[in-house]
Amino acid sequence: MATLEQTKEIFRRADAVCFDVDSTVIREEGIDELAKFCGVGDAVREMTCKAMGGTVTFQKALTDRLSIIKCSREQVNKLLTDHPPQLTPGIKDLVDRLHERNVKVFLVSGGFRSIVEHVASQLSIPHDRVYANQLKFYFNGEFAGYDETQPTAESGGKGRVICMLKEKYGFEKVVMIGDGATDLEACPPASAFIGFGGNVVRPQVKEGSLWYVTSFGELLKELEKI
């Protein structure tokens, strides 16, 4: 059983760090913002809470929420223009510091690629280091579902992405950082998990985390110890 100190040591010496996006790297839940923008905010927010709390499978929650939202390509683009995702304070400094140390940074999200790529650009993270769900649209721009073959579309998907990254790049130490149940369950195969409660505290995740932080400043401070 790892200890808090071992978790901190793994973070300081990580080859790669994988961040969840919604309520971690950004302040909001992207799917809730999209739902609100499309006029079905309340119904979808309730489903998001269940999904993040681990009371229903992620894939079922995603399918059910999208069947209510039914967003068009135009609505997604307008959301990004009118209400771009708000970065959590301190995340840019932390990602910059990790990049300076030649640590590979990935965004691994159950959210939507179009939104997550927008966030990746703000953080100078290459888009080929983004793993997220792909919305599908008909030729006229109307909603056509989502790509159910993406690993991030189902429970346990983030762990599968981390396995794939280890295999592809030969990483030994991979750290997962996030606020939700799908992040916590990615360790193992992640070498360590850091729970993040800077935007929302999920009791199940807080209890299951050896290291739980409420600001990215705490992680930056740890990197200074090297």
Q: Which of residues 42, 60, 82 is at a domain's end?
A: 82
Which listed residue (22, 32, 179, 183) is catalytic?
Answer: 22
- Number of domains comprising the chain: 2
Q: Are residues 110 and 61 in the same domain?
A: no
CATH of the domain at 40: 1.10.150
DSSP-derived secondary structure letter, 21: I
Compute how many other C-beta atoms are within 10 angstroms of the C-beta atom of residue 90. 15
Contact 178, 19 (CB under 8 A): yes
Instruction: Count CA atoms closer than 13 A to 40's CA, side-chain side.
Output: 16
pLDDT at 106: 95
Q: Are residues 126 and 194 in the same domain?
A: yes
pLDDT at 30: 81
SS3 track for 120-186: HHHCCCCHHHEEEECEEECCCCCEEEECCCCHHHCCCHHHHHHHHHHHHHCCCCEEEEECCHHHHCC
- Annotated active-site residue 22? The verdict is yes
pLDDT at 222: 78
CA angle 24, 28, 31 (to 5 degrees): 110
Contact 216, 198 (CB under 8 A): yes
Q: Are residues 159 and 204 in the same domain?
A: yes
Q: Output the pTM of the full model.
A: 0.86
Residues of the chain predicted below pLDDT 70 = 1-2, 48-55, 226
Q: Of the candidates 138, 125, 131, 143, which has an alpha carbon nearest to the alpha carbon of residue 34?
A: 143
Q: Are residues 147 and 219 in the same domain?
A: yes
Q: Which of residues 82, 113, 146 is at a domain's end?
A: 82
pLDDT at 42: 82
Its domain, for residue 176, covers: 4-29+85-224
Q: Are residues 52 and 164 in the same domain?
A: no
CATH of the domain at 186: 3.40.50.1000
pLDDT at 129: 92
pLDDT at 2: 67
Which listed residue (15, 20, 64, 96) is catalytic?
Answer: 20
pLDDT at 218: 86
